[in-house]
Copies of this chain bind each other. A is one copy, B any other.
């Protein structure tokens, strides 16, 4: 019988588990308290000032119900501002604060180190291949989860 630990789904879970642990450890060592999810959201807000939550969710493939809580915490930490949109009164426009910008800048080396550490068992060539294959598999399965990647509108 096929071992559980040979199934792609199980391997995906384990790799992600390690990736998150490494990320949190590196970021904490650097003196910050930010989760992978919060980091991705913050970086995306910086790159797309004024975007609304649904667009943000699409850009990083998060469920929109998850985004609400993530932004809550980024706002609470003073890294992001959420204000009502003037164009669409349902929407919230997101902006990064100066504090958020500073944090993002300071945290980048730790985030990059984390990426290297989670792949430390692989050669550079293997690491590139893994990344390529993950990207390809994800592209093919994009529509299969509730939170597919969406290009920015306009």
* Interface residue? A76 (CB, 8 A): no
Chain B nearest CB, measured from A44 CB (Å):
6
Report yes or no: A115 in contact with B8, Cβ–Cβ below 8 A.
Answer: yes
Contact B144 A12 (CB under 8 A): no
Interface residues of A, dominant DSSP: helix
Residues from chain B with Cβ under 8 Å of A16 in the complex: 12-13, 15-16
Name the distance in Å between A145's Cβ and chain B's nearest Cβ.
4
The CB with the most chain B CB atoms within 10 A, among A13, A111, A129, A149, is that of A13
Does A154 make an interface contact (CB < 8 A)? no
Top 3 nearest A-B pairs by Cβ distance? A121-B140, A21-B145, A18-B141
Contact status A129-B129, CB under 8 Å: yes
Taking CB atoms, residues of chain B closer than 8 Å to A134 are: 8, 11-12, 14-15, 130
B-side contacts of A149, CB under 8 Å: 5, 14
**With contact pairs A14-B61, A16-B12 given, residues A118 and B131 touching in the complex (Cβ less than 8 Å):** no
Does the CB pair A8–B118 fall under 8 Å?
Answer: yes
Are B141 and A121 in contact (CB-based, < 8 A)? yes
Tell whether, in the assembled complex, residue B25 and residue A9 are in contact, meaning their CB atoms are under 8 Å apart: no
Query: What string of 1s and 0s marks CB contacts (under 8 Å) between A105-132 and chain B?
Result: 0000001001101111110001101110
